Chains A and B, each alone.
Chain A
Amino acid sequence: MSSVATHPDHGAHAAAKPRGFLRRWVLTTSHKDIGTLYLLFSLAMFFIGGAMAMVIRAELFQPGMDFVDPYFFNQMTTVHGLVMVFGAVMPAFVGLANWMVPLQIGAPDMALPRMNNWSFWLLPAAFSMMLVTFFLPGGAPAAGWTMYPPLVLQTGMAFPFLIFAVHIAGISSIMGAINIIATILNLRAPGMGLLKMPLFVWTWLVTAFLLIAVIPVLAGAITMLLTDQYFGTSFFSAAGGGDPVLYQHIFWFFGHPEVYILILPAFGIVSTILPAFARKPLFGYTSMVYAVASIAFLSFIVWGHHMFTVGMPTAGTLFFMFATMLIAVPTGVKVFNWLATLWRGALTFETPMLFALAFVVLFTIGGLSGIMLAIAPVDFQYHDTYFVVAHFHYVLVSGSIFAIMAAVYFWLPKWTGVMYSERLGKLHFWTSVVAMNLVFFPQHFLGLAGMPRRIADYPVEFMEWNMVSSVGAFAYGAAQLIFVWTVIQCMRGRGKPAPAKPWEGAEGLEWTVPSPAPHHTFHEPPKVV
């Protein structure tokens, strides 16, 4: 990125924060406070979804039904998936965008600050609706996070609550995305051309586009579920001339771009952190931008790879297989550019860097198993087994979640004004990375050996690796408590005061404002030269 000349902020009005809890946190229009709200909400959801994962892993520790009823197990799996995807990872990225995009492009706030607040406050509404279903007769939804009909239509009282919860979460995402796009397109400081934007901003621009393009499609799909259930329509019923597989097509037209929504901002984060701790500019900035755009484009034409076993015409299978494999090319470009960024740098290994490096390795493992899944004739074996579960946790846990962790450690000094404890951060990293691999690497073996996913109980020969996986899961869960403690300490202001730019090699406008970032920044846009 280009070098930057700033204008010191006018101290007087910059410091003033609104008084009172209500005005500060509920009625707020400040992108920073809303960003904090998003991040805290996401953390809460990560724990709720994680607690469900602990129930899953406890039940799967050994064969036999030990703790829960199989139907409750299915509820755990389903709500775990929904909460993690829509409640933990997406809001975390939106929170990071809220905090960092205006700071990185030199904007005074988000383009539409009031709507920004609405986007956030819809999330508690959506997820309280989703989680309250546990207390309804019949319990929570249990048909998988993919909500396939006809099974999902057997959901009891929870059904319409699930549909409307997803609708509201979707409205929140769309508004959030519109806001981010408008901010990036319209509020850049003078001189900040599109191809001068930091990569985090770029990846979010593309992510926001994906969100606006596919969340409404999900809304359409679940609306059809709703009318099939209550108004007698037959979209997904063969007797009436519909097709259950139609739902899958529509869902995955949303679903595949969705998984890139869950990873593109992570790419942006890693592209920010690696150069900072390698003390060397990002390699291949322009091709990084084009790679993100290509991935986004391809993501619209690969959805069929989730449905190889539904009995598509062979031509369709071939098309989806080829298109999916192609994604390895732009993703490879990103991985190789990261390697070249590190090459002959001067690396140091603070916590954000450790998470970013682990991301590169572990995401690549997940990506390579993705390529294996893309090969249709072998996916006939892999599909709906723990091999798939292993694949997507490598890209989601050691991908999205690790990138989020890296980002939090990287920008925490800017947000709170104090340095986190490097010792605890490193402890968190090492326990997480070891435990994470213990949980999910053996799941590759289980899947290949024939263990289907979404099962509450399994034959005896799968016991050993399941035990390893479960032990790893408890360790991973416990490790996250270190993270929470570290963050709380910073939020309470315990720690070394952070300078405006705590990282030697970091670049970007956010490091030109003091730490913690004052309530108002860039009222006068900085000049980027």
Chain B
Amino acid sequence: MEGFRALNMPRGATAMSEAVYDLHMFVLTICVVIGIVVFGALAYSIAFHRKSRGVTPARFSHSTAVEVVWTIVPFLILVVMAVPAVRTLLAVEDTSGAEMTVKVTGYQWFWEYEYLDGEAEGIAFYSVLDEASDRARRLGSETDPREVEHYLRDVDQPLVLPTDTRIRFLLTANDVIHSWWVPEFGWKKDTIPGFINEAWTEIGEPGVYRGACAELCGRDHAFMPVVVVAKPPDEFRRWVAARHDTADGETSVAGR
């Protein structure tokens, strides 16, 4: 029953996701108010202007004045929505000033992450749906997904990122279009074969952030989650060091 509480967008873990959340709530509120006004007027007519109450219908059929009003007022409401929208958009799209760059590549049906610069340069690995989920998700598997922890939400190797760091993502794909999405970061971006898209984030809170591929990419589109583990910078540094020590950093995607 827990799930009934999942009603709204998460506030997320970055300044940008909070801006997106606030904008979402702002627009939603305006829409709800418009809805209440419209449905209120309709309900009034339905309740009071019905034939069974013996009313005789009016005959009016136009009024330039009200028509001008209800053309202009919606327009003004739109302007009110557009202003914060533009501000947020420009912030989201500004990928300059990155302290670190990660390249994300979509495959059917897993992700590849490459650290392109800084101390983590050279680390690269694939990130595949974890085995417990993979077993449980099969047609006719005897496992109840509800028994699997983080069903379809976990991978063998998550992307590890430092907090409080402006990170730039370069996104592309190897076969078909995928879309890299962590709701807590406030955006998703398509990964397009042959082209590079850019995006950025700056994570505020350490934690595990879970997302998914958001563009239909074939049979196992539902089974390529995104998992990001955000660590404070010094812990991240320790992770990088450990990673450099163990072998060449490359892990196979055996069986794929």
Contact = CB atoms under 8 A, between A and B. Distances in A.
Interface residues of B, number: 97
A377 B194 contact: no
B193 A238 contact: yes
Contacts, number: 293
Interface in B62-79: 62-63, 66-67, 70-71, 74-75, 78
A457 B20 contact: no
B6 interface: yes
Nearest to A335: B38
A455 B85 contact: no
Interface stretch (B53-61, B116-124, B159-167, B228-236): B53-61
Given A64-B137, A346-B51, A154 B218 contact: yes
A454 B221 contact: yes
A380 B211 CA distance: 13
B254 interface: no
Interface in A272-327: 278-287, 309-311, 314, 317-318, 321-322, 325-326
Nearest to A239: B194
A318 B192 contact: no
Interface stretch (B23-31, B97-105, B241-249): B23-31
A460 B145 contact: yes
B188 A461 contact: no
Given A64-B144, A284-B67, A368-B35, A343 B41 contact: yes
Given A322-B82, A346-B50, A452-B181, A284 B61 contact: yes
Given A238-B194, A311-B192, A456-B222, A329 B78 contact: yes
Most B-side CB within 10 Å, residue of A239, A310, A347, A368: A347
B216 A143 contact: yes
Contacts of A361: 38-39, 42
A475 interface: no
A66 B23 CA distance: 38
A322 B20 CA distance: 18
Contacts of B8: 445, 448-449
Contact of A321 (B60, B85, B150): B85
Most B-side CB within 10 Å, residue of A67, A348, A376: A376
A245 B172 CA distance: 13
Contact of A150 (B24, B74, B141, B176): B176
Contact of A450 (B4, B56, B63, B211): B211
A452 B41 CA distance: 35
Chain A contact-residue range equals: 35 or more
A381 B7 contact: no
Given A245-B195, A364-B38, A376-B89, A448 B9 contact: yes
Given A143-B216, A283-B61, A322-B82, A311 B189 contact: yes
Interface in A331-386: 332-333, 335-337, 339-340, 342-349, 357, 360-361, 364-365, 368-369, 371-372, 375-378, 380-381, 383-385
B240 interface: no
A347 B213 contact: no
Contacts of B221: 70, 74, 454-456
A480 interface: no
> B interface, by DSSP: helix, strand, loop or mixed?
mixed
A317 B89 contact: yes
Interface string A235-246: 001110001110
A44 to B, nearest CB: 27
A343 B70 contact: no
A244 B3 contact: no
Nearest to A504: B51
Interface in A34-59: none
A71 interface: yes
Nearest to A467: B3
B42 A339 contact: yes
Nearest to A314: B93
A337 B62 CA distance: 9
A339 B222 contact: no
Contact of A465 (B3, B24, B82, B219): B3
Interface in B160-214: 175-177, 179, 181, 183, 186-190, 192-195, 197-198, 211-214
A336 B70 contact: yes
A524 interface: no
A278 B215 CA distance: 46
Interface string A168-206: 000000000000000000000000000000000000000
A454 B1 contact: no
Nearest to A463: B3
A395 to B, nearest CB: 14
Interface in A448-505: 448-450, 452, 454-465
Interface in B86-137: 86, 88-90, 92-93, 136-137
Given A239-B194, A360-B42, A364-B38, A452 B50 contact: no
Contacts of A508: none
Nearest to A347: B50
Contacts of B216: 74, 143-144, 148, 151, 454
Given A150-B176, A329-B78, A384-B179, A311 B198 contact: yes
Given A283-B61, A371-B31, A458 B89 contact: no
A137 to B, nearest CB: 16
A328 interface: yes
A347 B44 CA distance: 12
A492 B74 CA distance: 48
B253 interface: no
B58 A461 contact: no
Question: Ordered nearest first, which 5 A-B pairs have the shortest CB separation?
Answer: A238-B194, A464-B3, A455-B222, A449-B6, A311-B197
Given A64-B141, A357-B46, A381-B9, 19 more contacts: A150-B193, A244-B177, A244-B194, A244-B195, A309-B189, A321-B85, A339-B38, A339-B42, A360-B42, A361-B39, A368-B34, A376-B89, A381-B188, A384-B188, A445-B8, A450-B10, A456-B221, A459-B152, A464-B6
Interface of A: 62-71, 74, 142-144, 148, 150-151, 154, 237-239, 243-245, 278-287, 309-311, 314, 317-318, 321-322, 325-326, 328-329, 332-333, 335-337, 339-340, 342-349, 357, 360-361, 364-365, 368-369, 371-372, 375-378, 380-381, 383-385, 445-446, 448-450, 452, 454-465
25 contacts: A63-B146, A239-B194, A243-B195, A244-B192, A279-B57, A280-B59, A284-B67, A310-B190, A322-B82, A335-B38, A336-B70, A342-B46, A346-B50, A348-B51, A364-B35, A368-B34, A372-B27, A377-B20, A378-B88, A384-B215, A456-B222, A460-B146, A460-B148, A461-B2, A464-B6
